Amino acid sequence: MTRLTPVPFYFMRHGETDWNRRRIMQGHTDIALNAHGIAQAEEVAPAVAKLPIASICCSTLSRARRTAEIVNTRKLPIVVIDDLKECGFGIYEGQDAAGAWREDWRNGASIPQGESLDVYTARLARGLNAALANTGPVLIVGHGGSVAPLERMAKIATGLKIANCALYRFDPPANGTEAWTYTALTEPSGPSLIIGEAQAL
């Protein structure tokens, strides 16, 4: 498995979309931020402005790209990287996000017309390492589906959940360990969503 470039970075999930709100899988389907998603990005923008970042990288999908633009109040360079986009969920895009197929996908099952977790992990690794080749520290604005492959690459125990517009810092292994560490920095107030599930904050 491709390893992540061992440098600290920041990761932020895009703001809410109408499909998030309706608990529908998006994948490569290019759904824009809704009004709440825009407000979420505006709320966390001051926290992003305080980060010691030198560049921002984001997915080509508009929900991530627009989030990156909103939080970029310091007018840093934004690099758009296709390999950072969400997993292609094939026939399940536009369907219920809570489908039973998701656990099978996490266990290695293929998706008709979509990407397996192995294929997606390899692609996302290319995207993350391309992002980390930019002047850093780097903020990466991506997707909820990035969490499962990121856990694998960073050797983090499963269970990490990242809500819309939640901001995290990832640090490379230290003291002879293999696992990265992560720190939750901030997330918007009010209701938020974790990969299709409503959660009151």
Residues annotated as catalytic (active site), given as ranges? 14, 86
What SS3 state is found at 42?
helix
Cβ neighbours of residue 14 closer than 8 Å, sequence gap 6 or more:
33, 37, 59, 61, 63, 64, 66, 67, 141, 142, 143, 164, 165
User: Which residues are 79's β-sheet partners?
Assistant: 57
CA pair distance 20, 141, nearest whole angstrom? 16
Cβ neighbours of residue 174 closer than 8 Å, sequence gap 6 or more:
181
Q: What are phi and psi of 77, to 5 degrees?
A: -65, 135
What SS3 state is found at 71?
helix
